[in-house]
Structure 1
Amino acid sequence: MEDCAATPVRRPADPSSPSPTPSPLSLRQWRPAAQRNLRNQWSRLLAAKTRWLAATANGRSHAAALVNANLSHGYMPGMDLGVLKDMPRIRDRASAKLAHKEVQCREMLLSAYKEMVCAVSDLVKASHAMRCFSKVSSGSPLVRFTDCQDDLNDLGDGGGAPVYRWVSMLEFENLAKELVEMFVSELQLKRLIVLNLLSIKSKGGADPSLEWSDELYDGELYKFQSIGLGSGDSFPLPENWRVDVLQAWQPGHAPSHEVLQVYLTSWLANVNIKTSRIDEIFELVGEEMQIKLR
């Protein structure tokens, strides 16, 4: 299929309605191209899921290290150093090392979060690129296909016919949408946790308090907007969070040890991701395509 990533996909207002039933010849020509594209997009979904899992595991490790360094730094002034207490400036040097550790952990946590955003971006893009459209070309006897819609009457779905054996293009898209929605919801939750962890102040530090609308790294807002998660010049809070998050938000407030543990536990739990359902989706799609998606 031709690459036309620079051209926006133009689809009718209701892609859930199948396009007109194509002729048997057109369907025979369309199906191999559609099958190749679906294999490619589901392989991209699998790769992006793997990328997400690696990034979230790294992020959890860096978040735990940040919390431990911050707590140790806070306890250092009153900590019993035993036989080390009389060593010259031992407490100051230990505090400086812990402060440096906090900076490093913040940077690595942010890097892991950025990788998670990229993984979700890949998931969204793959889920939106499953349809296969006929390429309008004058004077050429060859039938070509693309992921860009030239003909508004062609929805790229083969008229609702099965792409392989039983599953239609719309059904493939709905499975991908279900999968993507889990990761999008979890990314929003992870962003809230990262925002709070990055806002933890070192003892005596002057770290600025972060707001939900702030970019956590350069280009984050653009990335969110490119996958439909941002609007205007800010990050909209999910509707079901709006009241609770805004009421609970306390800029500059140092969370307790118990709250920090809740953040780490929530991160590890991936509360919005149903692993068994994701495995079921990839298994179902793999069986339909007669390939292994693992």
Structure 2
Amino acid sequence: MSIDEVGDTVEAGTPTPVRRPADPTSPSPSPSPLSLRQWRPAAQRNLRNQWSRLLAAKTRWLAVAADGRSHAAALVNAHLSRSYIPGMDLGVLKDMPGIRDRARAKLAHKEVQCQEMLLSAYKEMVLAVSDLVKASRAMRCFSKGSSSSSLSRFADSQDDLNDSGDGGGAPVYKWISIPEFEDLAQELVEMFVSELQLKRLIVLDLLSINLKEGAGPSLEWSDELYDGEFYEFQSIGLQSGDSCPLPQNWSADVLQARKPGHSPTHEVLQVYLTSWLADVNINTNRIDEIFELVGEEMQIRLC
């Protein structure tokens, strides 16, 4: 995605010192006042675009996560109801031929439907996180074309290795530099990546319920849950080799706790639903603070 070409320059006041130094690992040379004035409008447009993408991806995540929780709850209810039928007092219905088998078959079908909808919601969550990651990595604004041209052009891809696309660490609007915007975006991304990994583990176990009852082998963490899942992970750098990493603060005991051939108990299933609802890795107050801070800096509304 290219940034609009800029044919004129926009005057800017003397840059205000940033609150934190730019990334020292690959700083751009200090640009001339003229090149900075030419760069800033394009950088501002690109940042507005990327933060709008971040907001849209966050909103999409919240919606599909809510749908996923609803599908997971329906799945758990159907599974528990089916497990209770053999010992359930059916009252006047108890003498109807095959009533228990038919009821169990309908509930089993309901489970399969819920699993399909849950998997669809999970896929949308992966795509939302992918959008978050891609937007967080597209905030830099690089000069394009000849420096002798009267037309200043910019894009989000790097041609000149000496141009890091950060304006030499200068503020893009009033206070915040490109690296600082990137740090804020990365803070958001890390929350949603960790939460996606947690929800993937829950989805993995909920998709394995019928398999654990003899319909086939249980799914493992290294299995692809839907076609193209691992490709999406690789495209945004969330997968290394043949395994999808767990959050850094998790241990291998989490996966070892999954018992092959055993369905999760009623209590465990309730923990899954509670964990899903809680979004334990997502600090909503901090997310609101970040979008409010960025919106104030850009003088736009991000909510």
Report the TM-score when normalising by structure 2.
0.89
Q: CA deviation at 1:77?
A: 1.4
Local SS of the residue matching 1:134? strand
Q: Tell me whether 1:136 sits opposite 2:142 in the alignment.
A: no
Q: CA deviation at 1:143?
A: 1.3
8 A Cα contact 1:199 1:252, kept in partner: no
Report the counterpart of residue 167 of structure 1 in structure 2.
176
Change in Cα spacing, 1:2 to 1:175, as seen in structure 2 (3 Å) is same
Local SS of the residue matching 1:148? coil
Equivalent-residue separation in structure 2 for 1:202 and 1:244 (angstroms): 22
Equivalent-residue separation in structure 2 for 1:111 and 1:85 (angstroms): 37
8 A Cα contact 2:199 2:276, kept in partner: yes
Match of 1:291 among 276, 282, 300: 300
8 A Cα contact 2:211 2:218, kept in partner: no
Q: CA deviation at 1:263?
A: 0.6
Local SS of the residue matching 1:287? helix
Q: CA deviation at 1:252?
A: 2.1
Q: CA deviation at 1:158?
A: 0.6
Change in Cα spacing, 1:65 to 1:281, as seen in structure 2 (3 Å) is same
Match of 1:95 among 82, 98, 104: 104
Equivalent-residue separation in structure 2 for 1:58 and 1:167 (angstroms): 36
8 A Cα contact 1:211 1:251, kept in partner: no
Report the counterpart of residue 230 of structure 1 in structure 2.
239
8 A Cα contact 1:200 1:252, kept in partner: no
Local SS of the residue matching 2:143? strand
Equivalent-residue separation in structure 1 for 2:34 and 2:147 (angstroms): 19
Q: What is the number of equivalent residue pairs in this alignment?
A: 284
Q: Tell me whether 1:278 sits opposite 2:287 in the alignment.
A: yes
Change in Cα spacing, 1:285 to 1:112, as seen in structure 2 (3 Å) is same
Q: Tell me whether 1:80 sits opposite 2:126 in the alignment.
A: no
Q: CA RMSD in A?
A: 1.8
Q: CA deviation at 1:235?
A: 2.0
Report the counterpart of residue 10 of structure 2 in structure 1.
none
8 A Cα contact 1:70 1:98, kept in partner: yes
Equivalent-residue separation in structure 1 for 2:50 and 2:24 (angstroms): 18
Q: CA deviation at 1:246?
A: 3.7
Report the counterpart of residue 62 of structure 2 in structure 1.
53
Equivalent-residue separation in structure 1 for 2:251 and 2:238 (angstroms): 15
8 A Cα contact 2:130 2:236, kept in partner: yes
- Which 5+ residue runs of structure 1 have no aligned equivalent? 4-13
Equivalent-residue separation in structure 2 for 1:243 and 1:29 (angstroms): 51
* 1:70-129 Cα distance to aligned partner (Å, 9 max, x none): 111111111111122222322221111101000000000000000000000000000000
Q: CA deviation at 1:243?
A: 2.4
Report the TM-score when normalising by structure 1.
0.92
- Matched to 1:87, the amino acid is M
Q: CA deviation at 1:267?
A: 0.4
Equivalent-residue separation in structure 1 for 2:248 and 2:275 (angstroms): 20
Report the counterpart of residue 2 of structure 2 in structure 1.
2
Q: CA deviation at 1:208?
A: 2.6
- Matched to 1:270, the amino acid is D
Q: Tell me whether 1:154 sits opposite 2:163 in the alignment.
A: yes
Local SS of the residue matching 1:201? helix
* 1:182-226 Cα distance to aligned partner (Å, 9 max, x none): 000000111111111111127965143011000000111111111
For residues 95-134 of structure 1, the aligned pairs below 5 Å read: 95-134=104-143
Match of 1:66 among 62, 75, 79: 75
Report the counterpart of residue 201 of structure 1 in structure 2.
210
Equivalent-residue separation in structure 2 for 1:230 and 1:202 (angstroms): 26
Q: CA deviation at 1:31?
A: 0.3
Report the counterpart of residue 8 of structure 2 in structure 1.
none
Report the counterpart of residue 8 of structure 1 in structure 2.
none
For residues 213-252 of structure 1, the aligned pairs below 5 Å read: 213-252=222-261
* 1:123-181 Cα distance to aligned partner (Å, 9 max, x none): 00000000000013488531100000001111101111100011111110000000110
Equivalent-residue separation in structure 2 for 1:74 and 1:233 (angstroms): 35
Match of 1:41 among 41, 50, 71: 50
Change in Cα spacing, 1:68 to 1:202, as seen in structure 2 (3 Å) is farther
Equivalent-residue separation in structure 2 for 1:24 and 1:100 (angstroms): 68
Change in Cα spacing, 1:41 to 1:245, as seen in structure 2 (3 Å) is same
Report the counterpart of residue 185 of structure 1 in structure 2.
194
What percent identity do the matched residue pairs reach?
Answer: 82
Report the counterpart of residue 9 of structure 1 in structure 2.
none
Local SS of the residue matching 1:70? helix
